[in-house]
Amino acid sequence: MSATKQRAESKDGIWETVKVIVEALLLALVVRTFLFQPFSIPSGSMMHTLLIGDYLFVSKYSYGYSKYSFPFGLGPFEGRIWASAPKAGDIVVFKLPADHSTDYIKRVIGLPGDKIQMKGGVLFINGQPVKRENTGEFVEKGPFGNEIKAQIWRETLPNGVSYDTLDMGTTAGDDTREFEVPPGHYFMMGDNRDNSADSRIDGSGVGYVPFDHLVGKAQIIFFSIDQSAKPWMFWTWPSTVRVDRMLSMLN
């Protein structure tokens, strides 16, 4: 084989490799933008439904698409297309209204027109207390090796959706004014009621979340690892991967 032919074949091989890489990146971009996007949980605001170190897929199509469905919020339109409203109890990833770029994950508690209030740690919706029952104690190792303890309360919303919340004691978020959710907005709360910057908390940057700020619905935990470990430290997986949480569907 001549040197010229070898160089030509080498260039063809490099070009094919570049094409495969570009096609793979474009496919990943399409999947991430329109179908599913992976997210990791960096804080304990949704404990114990979601733990630090959980990795989950969020469906981008559940509520339709807005400019925030696209990377860096660069969607070429305003509002929302193919829109479908979230239901009370959905776990939602959204862009923080205060800066339009930070991703938050909370549970939808209030729909447009709802009146939301906390009284003595009890959630009230439209003047009625939400049904709840104590189901035991939650114990988790904290980020500094400390032990986190909380009471587990099972809440059931008026539409029948049930989920667990944590109560660690009396905090400012246990008693609030009454919030009336404006049209086109949603009221978000974390399941870890005493450790969540959400729509109840003035200065949190959350407030009432506009519909077009919703990124998608949390669907499934595909991987989970103890917060003290890193996912790339595969040699620690036998003792740090939370196998029981993997492939867990979310409400």
Tell me the per-residue pLDDT of 66-85, one tens digit each, with 9 for 90 and over: 888 887 666 777 888 888 99
* Tokens representing residue 81 in the block: 């297309």
| DSSP assignments along 85-118, one per residue | PPPTT-EEEEE-TTTS--EEEEEEEE-TT-EEEE
Active site residue 101: no
Catalytic residue from among 60, 95, 106, 217 = 106
State phi, psi for 128 to the nearest 5 degrees: -115, 135
Q: Which residue has the higher pLDDT, 3 or 102?
A: 102
d(CA 188, CA 247): 25
Element (H, E) at 157: none
What pLDDT is attached to residue 163?
96
Q: What is the mean pLDDT of residues 209-224?
A: 95
At 144, the pLDDT band (50, 70, 90 cuts) reads low
State the average pLDDT for the chain: 86
Residue 195 C-alpha from the chain's centroid: 16
The angle formed by the CA atoms of residues 101, 113 and 63, to the nearest 5 degrees, is 45
132 pLDDT above the threshold of 60: yes
d(CA 9, CA 16): 10
C-beta of residue 189 within 8 angstroms of C-beta of residue 196: yes
Query: Using CA of residue 207, residue 212, residue 215, residue 219, what is the dihedral sign?
Result: positive
What pLDDT is attached to residue 25?
62
Residue 99 burial by Cβ neighbours in a 10 Å radius (0-12, 13-18, 19+): exposed
d(CA 161, CA 216): 18
d(CA 42, CA 143): 11
pTM reported for the whole predicted model: 0.84
What pLDDT is attached to residue 200?
95
Question: Token pair 């500094």 is at which residue?
Answer: 144
What pLDDT is attached to residue 2?
60
5 pLDDT above the threshold of 70: no
Question: Token pair 């669907």 is at which residue?
Answer: 219
Active site residue 106: yes
Report the DSSP pairing between strands 208-210 and 115-119.
unpaired
149 pLDDT above the threshold of 60: yes
At 170, the pLDDT band (50, 70, 90 cuts) reads confident
Catalytic residue from among 45, 66, 69, 224 = 45
What pLDDT is attached to residue 187?
98
d(CA 215, CA 225): 24
